[in-house]
Amino acid sequence: MTSPTTPGPLGLDDHGLAACVQCGLCLPHCPTYRVTGDERRSPRGRIALMRAVEWEGAVPDDEWHEAMDTCVGCLGCETACPSAVPYGRLISGTREAVAAERRPPLHLRVGLRLLSWPGLVRWGSRAIGVVQRLGLLRRTGVLPARIPLRAGRSRTDGKGASRGDGATGEVVLFTGCVMDAWQPEVHTAVVDVLDAAGIGVERSGDRVGCCGALHEHAGLVDDARAHARRVVAAMAGDRPVLVDSAGCGAALKHYGDLLGTDEARAFAARVHDVHEWCAADGRVQGLLAGLAPSSGPDPSTEGGVPVARPTVVVQDPCHLRHAQGCHGSVRTLLAPVADVRELDDEGLCCGAGGAYQLLQPEIAGAARDRKVAAVHRAARGDEVTLASANPGCSTHLAADRSLAEAGVGVRHPMELVADAVRRSGNGTRRA
Amino acid sequence: MALGLYSRDGSVTRGGRAGVVCFPETTDEVAACVRIAVAHGRAFVPRGAGTGLAGGAVPCDDPVVVATTRMDRIHEVDVERRFAWVGPGVVNLDLTRHLTGTGLHFAPDPSSQQSCTIGGNVANNSGGPHCLQDGVTSAHVLAVEVVLPDGEVVVLGDEEGRAVGYDLRGAFVGGEGTLGIATRICVRLCEDPPEVATLLLGFARVEDAAATVSAVIADGIVPAALEIMDQRVVEAVEPFVHAGYPTDAAAVLIVELDGLPAGVAAEVERITAIGHDHGAGTVRVAADEDERARIWKGRKSAFGAIAVIKPDYYLNDTVIPRTRLAEVLAKVYEVVDERDLIVMNVFHAGDGNLHPLIVYDAREPGVMERVLEAGEEIVRISVEAGGVLSGEHGIGLEKKRFMHLQFTDADLVAQDRLRRAFDLHGLANPAKVLPTGASCGHVTSLGRPPEGMWV
Ligand SMILES: Cc1cc2nc3c(=O)[nH]c(=O)nc-3n(C[C@H](O)[C@H](O)[C@H](O)COP(=O)(O)OP(=O)(O)OC[C@H]3O[C@@H](n4cnc5c(N)ncnc54)[C@H](O)[C@@H]3O)c2cc1C
Ligand code: SF4
Ligand code: SF4
């Protein structure tokens, strides 16, 4: 038998590992258990398998690895666990130990390496965008249906302090890598909303680059640390750092743990999810209150034609709900501009999980089917837009045929807010 | 190594190992699993979500484990006639969620309802906080389609809930998987109450909370739920749910009332008065649905939350006459204190269904013996007070050694005959419930499985 003081082969925190009482209350909150009904695909099962190796000296076999590889890392189990089992730490520790022995697949490693060069991502994405338009690529959930040909404006070479490029903004918008190439309109939406509220924004740009979340997820913790160090160094100062991709936001907030330095902890404390920050800012609140139908001239008209408030179904990315716990702010921001409808699945993961959809397409697809069914239930046949604050989730969901057929578009919550701001004529003010 | 994952449920009992684990999706597939197992002289063990607290789904002697988790379809809901046909793997709370908007719900609400399956509820005849008024699972099962231990498929009961001839449906509910496998279940649906009020009363002494329970019932009120949590439980769950439980109270009593608005309002007043008469320091009525939900989430997280204090738990489930609650509880604390252990009490007070949760760290040498001794002593005290061994968690593996404390030999022989009538060869979940036959499984810490467990 083991003593809690000897670290096992996975080097996991013994206290955290011991905290699981095997009650099973987490089971329904785990997407991979939900779609398979199998203990090997459950948090409880995975923890038991970690214990087997850590405490009993069992040697990981293929089945063991498969159990770990199929975890999305959504942390739905951590939120659900009444015993405060630190599942996130256990699985990333496990992944790190495993990656040291058994390297992730080559295509994943190469793909992740590429993220270090945002310029390259934009260039490559544009090339894919052309191929897509020529109809040469099949639709998958991994790439957006139509990658924009004009990528983001995040390069800090944007001379002349036009909006969002000013180096003197009150806040910095973290622009990341893939998001900047695939969904540049989201950054623009954030800049427009902040601008209308009179808040200057600087885009972090290429010198800051990728957050390293996908690397950490794959167990490539050294690479993740290298990214983290680069981000921290490139964003010195004390201005708030706003993040509009839930996945990147969770990663940035976690830098203190990842690097373990005071500098990283101080940086992490400056990081805010964009919704979280806006919901707490009086100026943005004031701007949105001015848009609400009750006050002032009817804002929901466009050239005299009434524009209906959109009906929005909110999908909570796990990185917002489980990792950052600030999904409530999305509702605070949307409430003045849209009729918000909730899903009835308690934030069960949609299966996107960064590169997960690529590596485990079967489970990811089944998890998406569950999510899509919940969206249809919430829509009740009405015309709705699905709001998702994470690029991985939104591309994964937008690739679903039945949503497309039902005319359900997937957009970032900040885009919906920006729409309303622009409609009201507020969005054109320049800094 | 992964078969080891099927060697346990939510309890501390671990048995042998699963020989094979099957995931059938249809009744025919279940029947095939059973027939093949039996043809090879292998035992089979039904398994739902594995949240059982008595080791019922723990495999003995390499059996075929038949997991019902993929039989999770809701086949039919008849709102008019108020019943639903469901697969055994449907999660309890999923059914009630599915019924949103119909004005109906499935009443049995074990604290594990977010995870446990309706098949498991039927097999254990599970209860829950709201079963005080509505009755336990057996009162909500109209019919069951069962794969018998020889592979034959039968339907017991019917949609109207009328038993034709002997009520075999009644015999099957609570069978703990020893009488066959439920493959489709017709459950009764209850109407949602027009008004609900949830009260939280804090007491400086556990006995006062217990006395309040007796006084409420004596007053002629039957609340929808009456639950007590002692201070340790409250301290463990409050940081998780932020329900605003009074953490300085020695015991908290949750009372839920439902019915027509005027009646509920009158009862709230009455209970507030009774509470104050019995020394309640605080009485709070939940202001909205969110606060209500948090109060219940706290109560229903209790067994899960204990790791905040110690990593292992041993749980009893005895039922005692409600009038003797205060006295038996005092003895329970004494028994546990004497053995230098910690007990957390959280229970269905209205039913007198105790759940003393002994928490410990199994890595402490010799602790297991003291835990088991205290557990046995608690059963003895309860039975002596005129109570029974298990209220709702079943006997499974873990409690069968106590059966003789409650039943005479003649009783046990009669029960064995019933079992044999369903299962001639003794291959349906053997070694469970009745203290006959070979034993298997050890009550042990989950953290310290016996050597070789994982290979
Ligand atoms: C945190 C927590 C709180 C709990 N609270 C309560 C409570 O308030 N009230 C309560 O009564 N219980 C409670 N329980 C115990 C447990 O959840 C219930 O007994 C539940 O009904 C078990 O369901 P399951 O699907 O997990 O069954 P399992 O644990 O998988 O199996 C339980 C038994 O049922 C048999 N079985 C399962 N499916 C079938 C089937 N289709 N046909 C025939 N036999 C079958 C198994 O062989 C086994 O004997 C709690 C457990 C936990 C962990
Ligand atoms: S992780 Fe938490 S919720 Fe899941 S089985 Fe363990 S203690 Fe229970
Ligand atoms: S992180 Fe998500 S996928 Fe992994 S075990 Fe937890 S709930 Fe399941």
pLDDT mean by block of 10 residues, chain B; 455 residues: 88 81 98 96 96 92 94 97 98 95 95 96 95 93 97 94 82 95 98 95 94 94 94 93 93 95 95 96 94 94 84 90 91 95 93 92 89 92 92 87 88 91 91 71 42 27
- Which of B22, B95, B115, B117 has the most A C-beta neighbours within 10 Å, making it the best mutation to test the interface with A? B115
pLDDT tens, position by position, A55-87? 989 999 999 999 999 999 999 999 999 989 999
- The answer to whether B70 touches B24, Cβ cutoff 8 Å, is yes
Q: What is the rounded average pLDDT of the residues A316-324?
A: 95
Tens digit of each residue's pLDDT (9 = 90 or more) over A227-250: 999 999 999 999 999 999 999 999
pLDDT of the residue at A259:
95
| A14-98 and A291-428, same CATH topology | no
Q: Which residues pair with B8 in a beta bridge?
A: B14
Asked whether this chain's domains B195-305 and B310-395 adopt the same fold, the reply is: yes
Residue bearing the CA closest to ligand 3, atom 2: A74
Say how many Å lie between the CA of residue B121 and the centre of ligand 1: 5
State mean pLDDT over A339-357: 92
Which residue of B89, B306, B448 is in closest CB contact with A37? B89
Instruction: Kindly compute the dihedral angle of the four CA atoms of residues A227, A229, A231, A233, in this order, to the nearest 10 degrees.
Output: -150
CATH number of B195-305: 3.30.70.2190
Asked whether B294 and B246 are in contact (CB, 8 A), the reply is no
Ligand 3 atom 4: the closest Cα is on which residue? A71
What is d(CA A295, CA B295) in angstroms, rounded to the nearest whole number? 38
Q: Which residue has the higher pLDDT, A106 or B74?
A: B74
Q: Are B212 and B280 in contact (CB under 8 A)?
A: yes
Q: Does the distance separating the beta carbons of A61 and B304 come in below 8 Å?
A: no
d(CA B246, CA B173): 39
| pLDDT computed for residue A99 by the predictor | 85
Most confident of the ranges A106-110, A153-157, A291-295, B403-407:
B403-407
Q: What pLDDT is recorded for position B12?
A: 77
Tell me how far apart the alpha carbons of residues A20 and B305 are, in angstroms, rounded to a whole number. Answer: 9
Question: Which-ligand-closest: CA of B312?
Answer: 2
Per-residue pLDDT, A156: 40
| ipTM of model | 0.91
The residue among B229 and A353 whose pLDDT is bigger is: B229
**Closest residue by Cα to residue A87 from A19, A3, A39:** A19
Model confidence band, residue A183 (pLDDT cutoffs 50, 70, 90)? confident
Report the CATH fold assignment for B310-395: Alpha-Beta Plaits (3.30.70)
**Would you tell me which residues 312-351 of chain A have a C-beta closer than 8 angstroms to some C-beta of chain B?**
344
β-bridge pairing A271-273 and A241-243:
parallel
Report chain A residues whose CB lies below 8 A from the CB of B237.
Answer: 82
**pLDDT over 50 (residue A161):** no
Helix (H) or strand (E) holding A262: helix A262-270
Q: How far, in Å, CA of A218 to CA of A225, rounded?
A: 13
Q: Find chain A residues with C-beta within 8 A of B449's C-beta.
A: 56
Ligand 1 neighbours, Cβ below 6 Å, are: A 23-25; B 9-10, 45-53, 56-57, 68, 88, 110-112, 116-117, 119-121, 123-124, 126-128, 176-177, 181-182, 303-304, 392-393, 396, 429
Contacts with B239 (C-beta within 8 Å, 6 or more apart), sequence order? B308
Burial of A185 (0-12, 13-18, 19+ CB in 10 A): middle
- Return the structure tokens found at B25: 């999706």
Architecture of domain A291-428 in CATH?
3-Layer(aba) Sandwich (3.40)
| Chain A residues lying within 8 Å of B116, measured CB to CB | 24
Each domain of chain B, given as residue ranges in start order, spans 1-192+408-426, 195-305, 310-395
CA R_g for chain A: 22
Q: Which of the following CATH numbers is that of domain B1-192+408-426: 1.10.1660.10, 2.30.110.10, 3.80.30.20, 3.30.465.10?
A: 3.30.465.10
CA distances (Å), origin B312, targets A153, B50, B174, B229, B347: 55, 17, 27, 19, 19
- Which residue reads 């498969």 in tokens? A66
What's the mean pLDDT when you consider all of chain A? 84
Task: Please give the average per-residue pLDDT across A398-414, as a whole number.
Answer: 94
Contacts of B1 in chain A (CB under 8 A): 49, 52, 58, 61, 63-64
In contact, A37 and A82? CB cutoff 8 Å: no
Nearest residue to A396 (alpha-carbon basis) of A413, A380, A372: A372
**In the structure encoding, which two tokens stand for residue A75, read together?**
């942390």
Buried b (16+ CB within 10 A) or exposed e, B224-240: bbbbbbbbbbbbbbbeb
Q: How far is A333 from chain B (nearest CA, A)?
A: 21
Q: Nearest bound ligand to CA A29? A: 3
Residue A429 is predicted with a pLDDT of 46
Name the nearest CA neighbour of A406 among A374, A382, A370, A371.
Answer: A382
A68 touches chain B (CB under 8 A): no
Pairwise CA distance, residues B243 & B192, whole Å: 24
A431: pLDDT confidence band, cut at 50, 70 and 90? Answer: very low
Q: Which atom of ligand 3 is nearest to the CA of A80?
A: 7
Tens digits of per-residue pLDDT, A14-62? 989 999 989 999 999 999 999 999 999 999 999 999 999 999 899 999 9
- CA A99: distance to chain centroid? 23
Domain A14-98 indexed as CATH 3.20.20.80: no
Nearest-Cα residue of chain B relative to residue A44? B5
Residue A238: predicted pLDDT: 92
User: What distance in Å separates the CA atoms of residue A210 and residue A228, rounded to the nearest whole number?
Assistant: 9
- First-to-last alpha carbon distance for chain B, in angstroms, is 6
Q: What is the pLDDT of residue A169?
A: 86
pLDDT tier for residue A139 given thresholds of 50, 70 and 90: low
CB-CB neighbors (< 8 A) of B8 in chain A: 22
Distance CA B19, CA B21 (A): 7
Q: Dihedral sign for Cα B73, B76, B78, B84, please.
A: negative
Cβ atoms B311, A21 nearer than 8 A: yes
What residue spans define the domains of chain A? 14-98, 106-278, 291-428
Distance (Å, whole) CA B54 – CA B112: 14
**Ligand in closest contact with the CA of B125:** 1
Residue type, A402: S
CA B226 – CA B350 distance, rounded (Å): 5
Q: Please report the pLDDT score of residue B181 as a whole number.
A: 98
Phi, psi at A312, each rounded to 5°: -120, 130
Predicted structure pTM score: 0.89
**CA–CA separation, A14 vs B211, rounded Å?**
43
Helix (H, G, I), strand (E, B) or coil at A414: helix
Rg from Cα positions in chain B: 22
Q: Is the CB of A75 under 6 A from ligand 3?
A: yes
pLDDT at A85: 95
Q: Which ligand approaches the C-alpha of residue A74 most closely?
A: 3
Q: Which of B394, B402, B377, B317 is nearest to B352 (CA)?
A: B317
Helices and strands per DSSP (H, E), number in chain B: 14, 19
Put simply, whether A5 touches B (Cβ < 8 Å) is no
Q: Is B91 on the interface with A (CB under 8 A)?
A: yes
Contacts of A381 (CB under 8 A, 6+ apart): none
Of the residues B69, B91, B358, the best mutation for testing chain A's interface (the one with the most A CB atoms within 10 Å of its CB) is: B69
Q: What is the pLDDT of residue A118?
A: 61
- pLDDT value for A300: 52
C-alpha B117 to ligand 1 mean position (Å): 7
Ligand 1 probe mutation, B51, B179, B399, B433, most atoms within 8 A of CB: B51
**Which residues face B85 on adjacent strands?**
B76, B186
B407 three-class SS: coil
Tell me B428's DSSP state: B
Picking from A351, A393, A357, the residue whose alpha carbon sits closest to that of residue A245 is A393
Q: Nearest C-alpha of chain B: how many angstroms from A37?
A: 5
DSSP codes joined into one string, B45-57 = EEESSS--SSSTT
Residue A266 at interface with chain B, using a CB cutoff of 8 Å: no
